[in-house]
Amino acid sequence: MERLELKEVQRLEGHNDRVWSLDWNPATGHAGTPLVFASCSGDKTVRIWEQDLSSGLWACKAVLDETHTRTVRSCAWSPSGKLLATASFDATTAIWENVGGDFECVATLEGHENEVKSVSWNASGTLLATCSRDKSVWIWEMQPVNEFECVSVLQGHTQDVKMVKWHPTEDILISCSYDNSIKVWADEGDSDDWQCVQTLGQPNNGHTSTVWALSFNASGDKMVTCSDDLTVKVWETENVQSSSGFAPWRHLCTLSGYHDRTIFSIHWSREGIFASGAADDTIQLFGDDNESQVGGPLYTLLLKKEKAHDMDINSVQWSPGEKPLLASASDDGTIKVWELVSQ
């Protein structure tokens, strides 16, 4: 069996505090266009990084500052790649538009009582979800001319909500929380009447500590979650939106014994490999175990990258485009871009 290796392409410096999160622009890296991603930090700024096509190296093309007054915790590009949403501990979410290479803040979303932890666009770019330490999840609808209206405030978590993520094809939203739960939200009917249609893992197979992050596979029929309980869990659904309404998720398997400190980030590649990043400074890659016995697909550790960063790894994310690149962000203030190569 061929051996996989994560080869460090470049170490990016510029932030002067921990880097919390990053997001690749989904509209880049295709048909000879350079890959672009955004990173956000405790230094209150967002940086836009672009790859030089001739050298393959990355440079910071813009610094978005003087808008947020506290840590920027999360950033997410719209599906078109034209807008960037940034969520901050200052209780606001900012919307940035790329106008001829310059980024302008075109909207500021207010309403959460305190720190906004995560932001996510739906597949069509018409809805934006935010979540907060105030235990709530808000759904915003994009109006003409970069205006956003809050159409629903979802109360269901009993603690800080760490992450929200839209399903890749359906308007179904998943949230995960400090209350150890994962909740599935759907719009039941024509009105903006969003409801919690499922809480995952209770009373069986659930995480036993904070759930930090989640990611879907490319087809959207599987989801992976990671937790402070040092496990990664894989969930599956038959059909996310069936004719009879919502189709529930069920627990497929639990991966434990790999990380020995909190797992902060998880991300599934289009090729079916998911990466995890943790407080043990390692990045680990998992893939389908095609040799697995009867009982469905299990997952096996493909690679463990020791000392990937000097401190906690807060975010890992696979790139769009043809070549499998992975970016990681850390408490050490750096971002690293890795290439997955076969030996």
Q: pLDDT digit string (tens) for 15-35?
A: 999 999 999 999 999 888 899
- Indicate whether 292 pLDDT > 80: no
pTM: 0.95
- Indicate whether 223 pLDDT > 80: yes
pLDDT at position 291: 63
Domains in the chain: boundaries? 4-342
Least confidently predicted of 11-25, 62-76, 96-110, 243-257 = 243-257
Q: pLDDT digit string (tens) for 247-267?
A: 899 999 999 999 999 999 999
Q: What is the 3-state secondary structure (H, E, C) of the chain?
A: CCCEEEEEEEEECCCCCCEEEEEECCCCCCCCCCCEEEEEECCCCEEEEEECCCCCCEEEEEEECCCCCCCEEEEEECCCCCEEEEEECCCEEEEEEEECCEEEEEEEEECCCCCEEEEEECCCCCEEEEEECCCEEEEEEEECCCEEEEEEEEECCCCCEEEEEECCCCCEEEEEECCCCEEEEEECCCCCCEEEEEEECCCCCCCCCCEEEEEECCCCCEEEEEECCCCEEEEEECCCEECCEECCEEEEEEECCCCCCCEEEEEECCCCCEEEEECCCCEEEEEEECCCCCCCCEEEEEEEECCCCCCCEEEEEECCCCCCEEEEEECCCCEEEEEEEEC
What class does CATH assign to 4-342? mainly beta
